[in-house]
Amino acid sequence: MDVYESALDLVGGTPLVRLRTRGPAAVYAKLEYLSVGGSAKDRIALRMIERAEKDGLLLPGGTVVEATSGNTGIGLALVAAEKGYRTVLVVSDRVSEEKVATLRAFGAEVVIRPGALPRQHPDHPMNHAAHLAATTPGAWLANQYDNPANPEAHYLTTGPEIWRQTRGRVTHLVSCIGTGGTISGAGRYLKEVSDHTIQVIGADPASSVYAGGDGRPYFIEAAGHFLHPDTAHDVWPTSYHPGVVDRIVPVADRHALHTLRQLAREQGLLVGGSAGTALAAAHQVAAEAGPDALVVVILPDSGRQYLSKYFNDTWMLRLGFLDGDASAARVDDAVSEDRDAPTCPYLNTHTPVGEALEVLRAAKGRGAEPVVPAGPCPAGPGRRPTAPELTGSATLASLESALRDGRATPADPLSGHLEPPLPQLGYGESARDALDTLAARAQDTAVVLRDGCAQALVTSAELRAVLSRPR
């Protein structure tokens, strides 16, 4: 019979499909979403658990613990379910709802922790998972970031599959870098087997530190390396072996998102955000390579996990990734500032109250109540805060009253005197919808986002003025 004995036999073994591209080089996509758990992470989950069993670290009746952005959790949960282990997963609150629901469907217990914390914070998902593993009897921490079985899984399976499937004709491998396991393992295998002729190329969100970015938040889940501004000591995963990688192509979130939406609409492949990042980089690599090049790009997971985000026009519009309907009055029409200059005022939470007051007084005259967004992003020109960094706001009225009442001194950090964050609007949203949003939140001022970053402030008076203009 042509059958499999268990779900575990359906881990990996994914197909390569040729993509239609403009240049002469061939581009083949490795569809990791066709692995049994829906992502490349099934491979490492199986390998890490089998290793732990072999090393006596995971015994019958034991508990698998991990901090995971989702896919590794799904892989671990399904392998653990099949083998009869309990699973406890710590995920960041930035992970999509679909991923969390999938983890629970496999019987895993899910603990949600804030994603926007510096690495040393005890509530950071990785520290919380380590704490749970240390305090739960029979628990084993998978630790994909530093587990040699992670790159090893790709060295033993992903790399050899690609070599076999292309009959040794592959010339370039393009992969995202999250933990680094995929690119380090598959890349090392392909380099070794090809006598080091294959080029291994990392694809990275433009602000990720792997690509040389400043580590500010980006909107592609599971790829790259984010750096909280208060991080004392940045730690890179030891699953990532930078020496295997020949170059890294930074990809702006907008480019990645439009690439993956286009792939679904034009080639019938529904893939996740990091696949969009990898594919955008692969197009660039293919465009620069000759006609004999055969580029393999790894598409780690399915777009079904992101229907509420990357394939949802409301989400895309709100964050400023879509232009919207240019025939209607839009938020953009109310933004007078030069688009290329960072004009949105912003206060860092460490700013002394006295200094914040000066910024607020300068902002006076914009809205009825002078208000400036605030958060952990370092202030200063050239660094636009991203949407997740707009964690609060400061108003002139409340700071002045705090000083008057003696609740604050001018030297206090602003962090103790913040108001809730301002509403956020995408530049492409209709001015009418934007006014409704402000009215529903009983606010007069909002932050306008473009490409996920604060571009400017807009007031309801400015939006009303745009609507009353003849078009």
String marking each residue 154-183 x if it binds ligand PLP according to CB under 6 A:
----------------------xxxxxxxx
How do strand 247-251 and strand 139-141 relate by DSSP bridges?
A: unpaired
What order of strands is seen across the sheet that includes strand 392-395?
347-348, 371-375, 392-395
CB of 74 to ligand PLP, least distance (A): 9
Residue 203 vs 414, nearer CB to ligand PLP? 203
CB of 186 to ligand PLP, least distance (A): 9
CB of 3 to ligand PLP, least distance (A): 27
CB 35 within 8 A of CB 14: yes
Nearest to 335 by CA among 343, 327, 325, 324: 343
Choosing from 274, 349, 398, 424, the residue that interacts with ligand PLP (CB under 6 A) is 274
String marking each residue 430-469 x if it binds ligand PLP according to CB under 6 A:
----------------------------------------
Cα separation, 149 vs 143, whole angstroms: 10
Choosing from 11, 40, 286, 390, the residue that interacts with ligand PLP (CB under 6 A) is 40
* Catalytic hit among 30, 41, 99, 191: 41
- Count the site residues for ligand PLP by CB under 6 A: 18
Residue 302 vs 395, nearer CB to ligand PLP? 302
By CB under 6 A, is residue 73 in contact with ligand PLP? Answer: no
CB 14 within 8 A of CB 30: yes
Q: Which of residues 182-221 bind ligand PLP (CB under 6 A)?
A: 182-183
CB 411 within 8 A of CB 354: yes
Choosing from 14, 63, 71, 207, the residue that interacts with ligand PLP (CB under 6 A) is 71
- Tell me, yes or no, if 309 is annotated catalytic: no
How do strand 109-113 and strand 86-92 relate by DSSP bridges?
A: parallel
Q: What is the dihedral of CA 428, 430, 431, 437, to 10 degrees?
A: -100
By CB under 6 A, is residue 78 in contact with ligand PLP? Answer: no
Stretch of 34-42, 122-130, 158-166, 228-236 contacting ligand PLP, by CB under 6 A:
34-42
Cα separation, 87 vs 261, whole angstroms: 34
Side-chain half-sphere exposure of 137, counting CA atoms within 13 A: 1
Neighbours of 396 (CB within 10 A): 18
Choosing from 37, 213, 300, 375, the residue that interacts with ligand PLP (CB under 6 A) is 300
What order of strands is seen across the sheet that includes strand 26-31?
16-19, 26-31, 294-299, 172-176, 199-205, 247-251
By CB under 6 A, is residue 125 in contact with ligand PLP? Answer: no
Three-state helix/strand/coil letters over 215-226: CCCCCCCCCCCC
Q: What are phi and psi of 339, to 5 degrees?
A: -60, -30
Stretch of 35-43, 109-117, 130-138, 251-259 contacting ligand PLP, by CB under 6 A:
35-43
CB of 272 to ligand PLP, least distance (A): 5
CB of 221 to ligand PLP, least distance (A): 6
CB of 254 to ligand PLP, least distance (A): 18
CB 175 within 8 A of CB 297: yes
What residues act catalytically? Answer: 41
Which residues contact ligand PLP (rule: CB under 6 A)?
Answer: 39-41, 71, 176-183, 222-223, 272, 274, 300-301
